[in-house]
Amino acid sequence: MRVTDEDLELINALQIAPRAPWSVLGSVLRRNPSALAARWQRLKEAGVAWVIAYPKNVGGRGATALIALTSVPGRRQELLDWLLPLPLVASIEDSGGTHDLNLTVLTLDYTQLATEVLAPLRASQLIAHLNTSLVTAERATGGVWRLDALTSAQERELTRMTPAPSHRRKEDPAGLPALLEALGEDGRADVNHLAEVMGVHPSTAGRRLRQAVDEEAITFRCDMAQYDSGYPVMCQWFARVPPEDHDRVHAFLRRYRTLRLLLSVTGEANLVFTIWLRHPGEILQLELDLLAAVPTVRLLRTDSGLAMYKRMGRLLSPNSRAKFSYLGG
């Protein structure tokens, strides 16, 4: 399937408003809503684009970790095959640096991280070395990047139609695990489908969905195959930044519309960021520009990932398209 400009416009619109009704999307894109729904179905079935839902860790709730692994010589594929089905391992990518694999792990708390993730990894006969960085703040995640296929006016119109959360949660809303499971395969699933999967009345499913979104217990993201996006190079940097300069680095990096990740972490590197780029030559230029803007930054490691095997629970093919086997995460 060849991805067209109209496809990119639709994906861009869903990046801004992942669950917007087809009537709203049709009005903004000046397209027939039924035609848009059919186009989206084709993109989804081809693994080009998809909408996911996942828990949002705010207010100290949840525990996220970045884990770099080096396999025992000759056992890398065996290690990858073991890791792929693990639901707490949300993402797995090839490392172009000193390690073999980079993992992103999402758990409910540090106890689960220690007992259900780190303990099995440390006991594994497949792993020669591992390094763990705990995420202390999520400054930007994959939901912020944009394709820039829409006009500024269209983006503003869609943004106005996307309600902002009204308040932060003190505890998880009722039925959150079941809701996340129901949304796992398709973040745009309608209320009737959610009710059927959750075993509740549609009005109950709708109320739980609204509460989860309103209280920032859940977030939605429209994602797509990297090689179809026009930005085939993924690069991740591990940096040491004085605490007082974190906001300056954040402001600089937000200039890049394909910023995929910006995290404050523990360890020698205290800031990690990932950006999709058009070609490898942009890596050096970005580094020069960053150091010119914030001279106190120390770039400790640059890791240009060669392949992504799993992204937020979704298995990926070698061409970066989704296989549509959702394994959690």
- Which has the higher per-residue pLDDT, 56 or 112? 112
Would you say 228 and 50 are in contact if contact means Cβ atoms under 8 Å apart?
A: no
Share of the chain above pLDDT 70, in %: 94
For residue 43, with 0-12 CB atoms within 10 Å meaning exposed, 13-18 middle and 19 or more buried, which class applies? buried
Domain that holds residue 238: 139-146+225-306
* pLDDT tens digits, 274-294: 999 999 999 999 999 999 999
Q: Report yes or no on 239 lying in a domain.
A: yes
Q: Which residues contact 211 (CB under 8 A, 6 or more apart)?
A: 173, 174, 217
Q: Give the three-class secondary structure for 162.
A: coil
Q: Report yes or no on 254 lying in a domain.
A: yes
Eight-class DSSP state of 226: G
pTM flag (> 0.85)? yes
pLDDT of residue 177: 85
pLDDT of residue 323: 87
How far from the centroid of its chain's Cα atoms is residue 264's Cα?
16
Q: Report yes or no on 270 lying in a domain.
A: yes
Closest CA to 261 of 126, 29, 91, 109: 91
Residues forming a β-bridge with 167: none
Residue 267 belongs to domain with CATH number: 3.30.70.920
Q: Report yes or no on 262 lying in a domain.
A: yes
Q: Report yes or no on 242 lying in a domain.
A: yes
Query: Number of folded domains in the chain?
Result: 1
CB atoms within 10 A of CB 38: 12
- The DSSP code sequence of 227-291 is GGTT--EEEEEEEE--GGGHHHHHHHHTT-TTEEEEEEESSS--EEEEEEESSTHHHHHHHHHHH
